[in-house]
Amino acid sequence: MYVKSERYKQRIKLVCLAFLMMVCVVIPNQVYAAGKNKEAALTVEQTVKGKTNGTTDEFQYELTSLDSGNPMPEGSNGDRLKFSLKGNESKELVFSYEEAATYRYQLKQVVEKDDKDYDGQVYTIENYVMQNGSEDFLVKTAIKRKDGNKSPTLSFTIQHKAKDETPVKNTASVPKSGDDQSFISLISLILSALLIIVVYKWNKNRRV
């Protein structure tokens, strides 16, 4: 009876030990899975050159997900994010990923019908999220311009053109010296002819 009691106690100890080992294995795995998010940060830079010609130097930008459901930075509305930059400002876009995949986006300046000068560049962003062994993610980013060439940065440059200054024309008529001289000569000839006629008639009447 005593031997059976000892065996029972040993079995209980083995069960408890096995349970503790399972808890030690499961809990770290759960913590690891929860902390497996990987962030990728991209900076959008704006440079304004020249005078604004009376317009504001604040410009709007739009980031669009090219694949529905892609993770977006904070402040997004669905698959779109709009934000503004003023002057020579910059903004950091932070993406958080939980799965290995390729995530594609498009970034451009919002062009409106006004007197502003715009940068018509359109960027395509591809974030490649890859499994780095079994413990972490690795994110590689490729940026392309609208012409297909690679770009190291997301930069927009607004070059304000110098405003054309058109001189005011003087609409008042300015007499030309040549025309005045011809007009005076004509008047002189007419007066001379009239004077000759008057003198001729006066002499003729006098003889009669």
Domain ranges for the chain = 37-159
What are the percentages of helix, strand and coil residues in the chain, rounded to 5? 30, 35, 35
Where does the pLDDT of residue 34 fall: very low under 50, low under 70, confident under 90, or very high at 90 and above? very low
Question: Which whole-number Å values give the CA distances from 52 to 48, 120, 121, 155, 171, in the listed order?
Answer: 9, 17, 20, 19, 32
Asked if 141 and 40 touch (Cβ cutoff 8 Å), the reply is yes
Which fold would CATH assign to domain 37-159?
A: Immunoglobulin-like (2.60.40)
pLDDT tens column, 102-139: 999 999 999 987 778 899 999 999 999 998 877 788 99
Question: Which whole-number Å values give the CA distances from 110 to 20, 41, 60, 113, in the listed order?
Answer: 59, 22, 5, 10
The stretch 161-185 carries a mean pLDDT of 60
In this prediction, residue 27 carries a pLDDT of: 34
Distance CA 109, CA 111 (A): 6
